Structures are given as structure tokens and as C-alpha cells.
A and B are shown apart, each in its own frame.
Chain A
Amino acid sequence: MKLQINRREAHTLSIVLIATRAFMGIAIDGTEYMNSGWACMLLGYVLALPLTIAVDRYARSGANGASILPKIAFAIFGIIALYESAAVLRMLVNTASYCALSTLSTTALTVFLLLCAYYCVSKNGRGCGNAAKLWLCALVPIMLIVIVAQYGEFNAFWLAPAFAPGARGIIEGGIITAGYFSAAAILHMSAEGEYDKRASCFLTLTTGALSGVVLCALRGMLAPAMLYMNNDRLSQLDALLTNGRSSLALQLPLIYAWFTGLITTLIGYVFISARCAVEVMPEADGRLCAAGAVILAFIIAVAGFAESEWVKRAAKWEYIAIALPLLLVLSAKLMRGGVKGAKVS
């Protein structure tokens, strides 16, 4: 099977992927950014913007050619996506433990989730894109219900101080978020078809990042900045999904939105890693690459390398790890005069 995704599907999948991953990284794992996650996301958007503009230009330029440089870049992107698959998988297990009110078997749960991801990726880009589209369609009414029903519980004063972690903290959070946002650039780089300005990487980033900003601000208004709180995921998930004030009736839609968002993100990362493998080895079968990605993600997650502390450490380097190879590929193309005028559909 030839693993491919068109620009529209890449656009939808990327929006879900970057918004959910950035929210997970900043609002759940990034307790040090307190209730200023929205500011980190805004800075992340600004930092990732040049990359997406460059990728849009790359997309207009056509095929990669036989150069070795894009292959190296895609190999790096594939490894990053693989690690991110394991990170999201671990968060899914944490969420399931929270919902089930007990610790769960990581192995049993990850096997099931990865089989779901494999099944979806094996349906190619259309399967993944449509999964994301379905989630987006469900998310909008769910969030509207949650916002309206919890209107009285939001406290805008809890967003203060506006830049709680200070300049250094906001910059660090911005770089981390830019790393998550850059995943959209990878997916768009490997997307098939002509450049489509209604599904451009710039539009993807803007939609995904602004959704993340709004979600982070809403989360910040639900609970005060807790400087001395336990940093474990269980406490953070409790603050997000229950927080002692949310109506019991709202927990189901909230958990549904969060859980399915994470599953779609997992599917997205598994797809990216398999797609990158295909970019590196064009003759490889897509299903085989997806199976390989799923098995490796399982090993990373079960071996304990995707625990929150590891993930947070790795996140600091993700933006550079994506931006540098990307810029090298684009520079090489520019030097060869490869980037040409847009062919807009």
C-alpha cells in the first residue's frame, strides 16, 4: 500500500494534532507555566510561523527529487513523530486510569490503542483525515455546551498575573509549543497534491494554534494557578476534568473530547512516522511502515521512556530538531533554484 495523504486531509489532521498536543504539553505537563499557557502558545505560534510559510513555499515547489538531504530530514522527523506517538500513548493510559479510578495495565491498554491507530493508518490518509474531521465536528458542539453550562464557574482573574512564569518561562514554553506546532509542517511537507491555499500550512497553524490558545485560556479560568500543587498527571487531569465544581453531567462530554482528541493525535503521529519512513524508503509498503511505527511506539511507551519527565525534557529540543533539517532542505532547494512560483488550485 502506498501511504499518502492529500492537502485537505493533512490540514484537518494537523489542526487536531497540534492543538491537542500543545494543550497536553502546556496545560497538563507544563505546570511551571501556570495559567499563562495561552501566552506560551501565542509565542509558539509566532516562532512556528516562518516554518509554515517556508513549508508552503516548499509545497509549491513540487517533488523532492533524489537528493539525500530530504531523506535525512524525514528520518529525523520520523523519529520525533515516533517518540511523540509514545508520549501521547502514555497520556492516554494516564487518562484511562483517571477515568477508571484505578491504575491500569499499561501493556493491555497500549496494545488496544495502538491496534486502533494501526487500523486507522492502514486506511491511509483518508482514514486519518476523516477521523480528525469527525472529532472536530463533535468538538465544537461539545465545547459550546461545556462553556455555556460552566459559564458561572469561569474566573477570569485566575489568568493573572498574565505572564506568571516570567520572560524566561514564557520563552521556554513558547519554544516547546513551537516544537509541537511544527508537526503540522512535517505533515504538510509529506502531503500529496497541488498546493491549496484553503488548506495551507499557514492556515493549519493559525487555526490549530488559536484553538490551543482559547482552550488554554479556558483551562486557566477553571482553577487558580497552583504553585505548590503535585505535578503528577492525575492531579492535573482532575483539575481539568472535574476540578470540584464541574457538573457531573459535563464530565462525560469533557472526557470524550479529551480522550478522542488524544486518540486522533496518536493516529496522526503514527501516520507521520510511517509516512516519513516511506519518504526515506520509497519502495517500502505503507502498512509495514505503520506496523513498524506502532511496534516501536509500544516499545518506547512500555520501556518507560515516554513518562512525563522524559517527554518534557525532549520537548525543549523538538523545535530545533524540526526547524534545522527543514531549513537545510529548503536552503538546498533555494540554492538549486528549486523553489518556484505557486501553482494555486
Chain B
Amino acid sequence: MRKISSIIAICVLLTLLSGCNKADYVENQAYAVMFGVDGDEKGVELTVQLPKLTGDTGGDKGYLITSASGKNFQEALESMRLATPRELNLSELSLIVVSEQLATSGMLPEVIDGLVSNYRLFSSSNIAVCEGSAKEFVSAQEAVIGTRLSEAILALIANSEDLGYIPHARLATLYYDSVSVYSDPMVTFCALSDGGSGGDVQPGDTSPGEISAESDNKNIYMGAALMREGSMTGKLTGLEMLTINLIKGEIEGFSYSSEAISAIITVRGAPSVKIDSSGDKLAISIKLYLSVLPVSKDISTENIAASLKRDIMNVIEICRAAGTEPFGFAERAAAGFLTMDSWLEYDWHARFMEAEIDVEMDLVVVDS
């Protein structure tokens, strides 16, 4: 009798579980893979790529492009929900693309707030700022290799991250860094390639749209958008981004060429960053530990060190001009302060703009 009543009780309790949530059938969901946001003072336009789940996932036939607009992000999202033939589900989103116009307009914080407070959004989505229209960029994205667009996007971004040409930009990290009081975030920069103009520009030292290459893949991710308080204040080329990754210790090696120098550089150890905020002027010293495998003949370590140092100082000046500090120095400097009030009073950004920066190189030439 006791067992029977226990079984009945469990069955009754199980029915309550259905009160937790209604069942979500995959066939009733429209899983967005890519999400584009365009906007200006007149309003916001959203674009999504949705897999049709028809069995034919090859090429553009397998994906549906839907756009909707509204006076602000929430209204546009509501219109998008109405326009989508199934329940819009953002939990499998691979990439969010924001147009450069919107990113620089000051409207981005509202969009980020709207995105992170969305129940159906996975905050680990990649985020990028694109040159031109986000709608065009999203519409042009295809799975050139493989059949699944979501996997293709993730592989594409992972490849650019490994090369060091883009930052590790996720929606959550952009949001957290924007609302925190340390270093500023960066977002991947992207554009539709027009075939490039060639010339004697170094690979990676152009806008992603001007990359000198021809491919079926027109969506190029290279460089970074510099952000401050949720708005874009400047941009970096792929090579400049690579230099920041070198300072942050986030790459293992890269191919380097500058004027008559050509070498393969490997990182030997984590960079040493020392910050002295005790004096009137902030002092930052950076020391990099690198191995150099010369490709061109007759190059000296002094030449490479001088060239790299010049590149680093150049990137620091670009960031200063944009009013940002994306190097991760602020976190280290904050360790020297006891309270948040004293840290805020120190006015990190103003100090960084006038800081004395010293770059040192510990280079070792290797033969293989």
C-alpha cells in the first residue's frame, strides 16, 4: 500500500514538472545562426539567418534571411518575432554583426543591454562590427566549406583568432568590459571583400574589405573595433590587432615582415608588464620574450627589436587617439589600490593617455 501511494505521489508530482515550461519542439523553433543590427537615429533594423531545416542545407537554399525594423531595438525585435514563421530562438546564435554606423552612433549600449537581457540568447555568441550594412553582410555569409553555416562561422572566426588578427570578442565579454572599470573591450572588425587592390601593402595591414585575395568567401574578419563605454571609437587593422595580442600574451607566434625584415617570431614566455602608479606620471614597462627565425638574410636582432618596438608604440598611439586602453593594463594597475573609490579617483584613462611607456625586447635568434 505504501509503495503504491508513493508511486501515485511521484506521478502526481511529475505532472507539476510540466508547469516548469511548455515543451519546445525543434520543428516549432526558428534557430537564428547570424544576427545583424543596423541603425541610425531614425530606427533599428534587424536581420537574421535562419536554417530552413528542409533537409537541403547546402548553399543559400538552406537558409532564410528575415529582416524587421522598429523605432528602437526592442520594437525591432518584436517585429522580428512577428515576421519569423516560427518562434524566434537566439540560443544557438553563432555571431552578432553590428554595423559601423550603429556602433559609432552611441546607440550600441541600448542594443547590447537588449541582447544580454534576452532570455533566449546565449551570451557566448561572437560579436563583430562590420563596415557598411550588417544586413548585406549577414545575407552574404555562406557555408563555403561544409554545409552547416553555424559551424562554418565558428571555424572561420576560430581561424582568425588563432592567427591573431582578431580579438577574442564575445557578447558577454563586450558587455562585462563595457560596464566594468578596467581596460576597454575590442570587437572583431569585418567587411565584405571586394577583391582588394593588391599593391605593396603588407598582408593584414588593410581594411578587411580590401584584402588582396579572391575567394568564394566574401565575408572577411580581420582587425578590431576599439570600444569605449559601449561605443566604437576607432579601429585597428589585422596587423595592429596582432601587435595587441602580442602585448597581451594571447598569441604563440606569427610571421613578421617589415621593410627589409622577414622572420618567423615565436613567443618564448608570457610578457612581463610592470605598472608604476605611485608617481605623478603613470609608468608602464613591457618586456617581450621572443624567438626569431630569420627568413631574409643579414638581419640583426637590433633591427627586429627596433621595428617591433616601433609597431607597438604605433598601436599604443592609435589606441590613445581613440581614447581607449585595450591592453589589459588597468586590471594590473588596480591591484595597487585598496578601494574602488580610490581607483576611480585615479582616473585611469586620463593617466594612460599621458603615461610613459617603455618597451623592451628579449630576442633570441634560432635556426629552426
Q: Which residues of A contact B (CB under 8 A)?
A: 34, 96-97, 100-105, 107-109, 111-112, 115, 155, 157-158, 160-167, 223-230, 232, 234-235, 238-239, 242-246, 248
Contact = CB atoms under 8 A, between A and B. Distances in A.
21 contacts: A101-B91, A102-B120, A105-B20, A108-B19, A109-B19, A112-B19, A155-B331, A157-B332, A157-B334, A157-B335, A158-B331, A166-B341, A225-B340, A229-B176, A232-B117, A234-B119, A242-B122, A244-B123, A244-B170, A244-B172, A245-B170
Given A166-B341, A227-B340, A245-B172, A101 B119 contact: yes
Residue picked from A34, A97, A223, A225, most chain B C-beta under 10 Å: A225
Interface stretch (B158-166, B177-185, B259-267, B302-310): B177-185
B340 A102 contact: no
Given A102-B120, A224-B331, A244-B123, A96 B180 contact: no
A224 B122 contact: no
B267 to A, nearest CB: 15
Given A103-B119, A109-B20, 16 more contacts: A96-B20, A101-B119, A102-B21, A108-B19, A160-B334, A160-B336, A161-B334, A161-B335, A161-B342, A163-B339, A166-B340, A225-B180, A226-B179, A230-B113, A234-B119, A244-B176
A166 B341 CA distance: 8
A329 to B, nearest CB: 39
B340 A235 contact: no
B340 A164 contact: yes
Contacts of A161: 334-335, 337-340, 342-343
Residue picked from A161, A228, A243, most chain B C-beta under 10 Å: A161
B326 to A, nearest CB: 14
Given A104-B20, A245-B172, A164 B339 contact: yes
A224 B335 CA distance: 13
Given A104-B20, A111-B16, A112-B17, A239 B339 contact: no
B124 interface: yes
A115 to B, nearest CB: 6
B13 interface: yes
A115 B340 contact: no
Contacts of A100: 20-21
Contact of A224 (B13, B91, B124, B176): B176
Nearest to A100: B21
B79 interface: no
B83 interface: no
Interface string B117-133: 10110111000000000
Nearest to A111: B16
Residue picked from A34, A103, A224, A229, most chain B C-beta under 10 Å: A224
Interface in B8-32: 13, 16-17, 19-21
A96 B340 CA distance: 33
B321 interface: no
Nearest to B127: A244
B24 to A, nearest CB: 9
